[in-house]
Each structure stands twice: as C-alpha cells, then as structure tokens.
Amino acid sequence: MLQDTDFGTIEFVVNKQAKCIRVRILSKSLRVTLPVGASQKDAIRFIDSIRQKLIEKQRKLQEKQKRNAVFIDENSSLQTLTFRVDVKRTTRENVFFSLKGNVLFIEIPQNINCTDENIQTTLWNGINYFLRKEAKRLLPQRTAMLAETHNFSFSSVKIQSSKSRWGSCSSRKHINLSFYLLLLPQHLIDYVILHELCHTKEMNHSAKFWEWMNKATDNKSDELKKELKQYSMP
C-alpha cells in the first residue's frame, strides 16, 4: 500500500486469474489488481502512463458522490430498511443517537450548523453505526435463505462499509456486502445478494453468469439492474 499525492492511498492486490494490470478508481484511493509476475513498480509505471486520465475520472467520481450525498438535518426524511431517521434540536450540548423500535432518534444542539462538513460526518458516523448493526443482524441470514432457495453455496458473509460497490464475491466464495444495502428496498437488496451468489458459479459477467441471474430473478435481471442504477451510496 502506497500514498500518492494525486489519488490518496494506492492498494495492490495479486489475483491469479488476472491477465493484466487493472486499476479501480475510488473517491480517495486506487485499488490495483496485479497478475502473477507483475510488480508494484510495473503498476506505478502503468498508472503514471495514464495518470491524467485517472485524475479526471476520480474527480468526476468525487463530484458525482457529492451530488448524490444525502444531507442530514431536522428536515431530512431518511428511511432505511428497518428504521427511519428523526432529527430534532434539543438543549443537549452534544449529538445523541438512540434507536427505539423502527426510529433512530438523533438529538442535536440548538445552535449546531448542519451544513458544516464535520457535523455531517458526525451524523453519518452515528447512522452508519446502526446501519452496520442492522446489516450484521439481517444480511447473513438473508444470504443463507436465498442460497438455500436457489441452490447456491458460499463460504462466508462479511459486512463492510464499502461506498464503491454494493457487494463482491471472491474466488473462494467469500461474500462481502456493504451495510449501505439497507438504504435499498428489499427486492434490490435481494438482487445484489443473488448477484454475488451467482458469482459463486461464475466469477465473471459472461453470458453464463447472466443465465444464472435470470434463473434466480425470474428473468428480471436486466430490469432490476437498471433500477439499481437509480440508487447511490451517501
């Protein structure tokens, strides 16, 4: 792992199935996949050869994420799969979070400025804490149920804070799911989980993979894929 003045962190991962160096652009980092035999120096040379193009793509990604960011204050109406967020100004001196039933109550000081980036980070950190708890409670169980229903097998389910992808699956059938999935409706959560379960059969997006997806979604994979693109992570 390296630090870069343009991209932030550059993470390197070796993949035996990779045929060439691949670069995945994230908002504050790059994730570089190396084939066997390639070195980090090879990857840096490749990055330098297309540096300006990568800088521009990362900038556009950052702008998109900023546009799609969900602003939290007393007028917001954020609804997750299992709870809604209710923000109120009180006489408290600090921000306070409390999940009661299906409502996450957030109490904020009267004079707090919610447009401040640090305040938004504080509010989202609290929301993320409960999203993670709920995701750990629900998503592994849901994955197991869908796997049994559609005759898939997997090794494990891990809940992550990824903002770059809803889910992923390794060649060893380890499934990673972002807790931001709980910002989606149930049928799209299921679509993402089924997508990763289909990768336990096909590790690519070949025609065979989409055959598995259509079988698991009653031939609605294209429709659901299009609907998912209407959603973004905060």
Residue 81 has pLDDT above 90, yes or no: yes
State the pLDDT confidence band at 214, using cuts at 50, 70 and 90: very high
Can you say how many angstroms the Cα of residue 161 is from the centroid of all Cα atoms in its chain?
6
The pLDDT assigned to 67 comes to 65
Tell me what the mean pLDDT of segment 56-67 comes to: 81
Residue 195 CA to residue 213 CA, distance in Å, equals: 7
Q: According to the CATH classification, is domain 134-228 in 3.30.2010.10?
A: yes
Residue 69 has pLDDT above 80, yes or no: no
150-170 b/e (C-beta count within 10 Å ≥ 16 → b): eebebeebebeebeebbbbbb
Residue 17 has pLDDT above 90, yes or no: no
> What DSSP character marks residue 10?
E
Residue 189 has pLDDT above 70, yes or no: yes
The pLDDT assigned to 18 comes to 87
Top mean-pLDDT range of 51-60, 63-72, 110-119, 193-202: 193-202
Single out the residue of 61, 65, 69 nearest to residue 23, CA to CA. 61
Residue 71 CA to residue 78 CA, distance in Å, equals: 9
Residue 54 has pLDDT above 70, yes or no: yes
Provide the residue ranges of all domains of the chain, joining segments of one domain with +.
Answer: 2-68, 84-132, 134-228
Sort strands 103-109 and 84-90 into parallel, antiparallel or unpaired.
parallel
CA distances from 8 to 2, 26, 55, 159 (A): 8, 10, 11, 24
Tell me what the mean pLDDT of segment 123-132 comes to: 97
Residue 68 has pLDDT above 70, yes or no: no
